[in-house]
Structure 1
């Protein structure tokens, strides 16, 4: 996998998003509490040459109508807090738990650890120290 990023000199930043290229196609995810997501059923590296159209992905699935209407950027925070309160009341983990956060952080640290050792690393990481403190 690769990741590229840059700060745009011009514009409002509305072009921010993520493309995921997989064996069955491409998914584009934009930002927001209910950010838009699209699927292209074409696994080639040059999907523009195909005749397949992008299909919207909603909370109901690919090509289905989105039932949630209030999905502004701030709603993501509201949904997280509501889920946290419900998780406490029902004695369950939140949908985005501390374990999920730890796993995401470990994947980020794996990038640095891979650089440090000069090769592929496995998860969970054997080295539990911050890799940048060891460079």
Structure 2
């Protein structure tokens, strides 16, 4: 669900995506290696990498780099926080205590997909229905992530950059 998180964190619609994806190593029904370069409407870039073919396997990691600092987090929790209040100030890392915790998920083994994150969202959806409120992640937000994933597949299949507005419109 890293794509969901990326779309939410960026807070800007996706403009274009270019991707490559293949089954390179594992005998599974889906790609085991993929990479996508995403351009957002606000001018920012994002890179999505996913693989179950590296040895040893790696945990999921998100790295956010900007003109005011860097934040790195993932399955192991918060790993780096170095943020400044302005572009002119060099961001100084804050000492981050990462406790060795059970992994929430890992791309190391495609047969061991964690379900803890799904449980939260299913429970929240049920509670939202009972309380007549929007769930934490709305259908509109989920759709943006699904559209990006489908555009990644389209780009990988055609070898061409996909313009999201055209792709979503069916062009």
TM-score (norm 1): 0.54
Point out where structure 1 has 5 or more consecutive residues left out of the alignment. 44-49, 57-62, 64-69
Q: Is the 8 A contact 2:83 2:91 kept in 1?
A: no
Q: Which structure exhibits the higher relative contact order, with contacts defined as CA atoms closer than 8 Å and separated by 6 or more residues?
A: 2
Q: How many residues align?
A: 102
Structure 2 residue aligned with 1:23: 67
Mapped partners of 2:102, 2:120: distance in 1: 10
- Report deviation, 1:79: 1.3
When Rg is computed on C-alpha atoms for both structures, the one with the higher figure is 1
- Report deviation, 1:95: 0.7
**Per the alignment, in what secondary structure is the counterpart of residue 10 of structure 1?**
coil
Among 104, 127, 137, the residue aligned to 1:86? 127
Structure 2 residue aligned with 1:3: 47
Instruction: Kindly provide the CA deviation profile for residues 98-132 of structure 1, in whole angstroms up to 9, marking residues without a partner as x.
Output: 111112233443894x815xxxx5x6x14422x7x
- Report deviation, 1:80: 1.1
Are residue 40 (structure 1) and residue 40 (structure 2) matched?
no
Structure 2 residue aligned with 1:52: 92
Point out where structure 2 has 5 or more consecutive residues left out of the alignment. 1-44, 105-114
Moved over 4 A (4+): none
Instruction: Kindly provide the CA deviation profile for residues 28-61 of structure 1, in whole angstroms up to 9, marking residues without a partner as x.
Output: 1213xxx513422269xxxxxx7822455xxxxx
Report the aligned-residue RMSD: 3.8
Structure 2 residue aligned with 1:105: 146
Q: Is the 8 A contact 1:26 1:42 kept in 2?
A: no
Are residue 115 (structure 1) and residue 161 (structure 2) matched?
yes
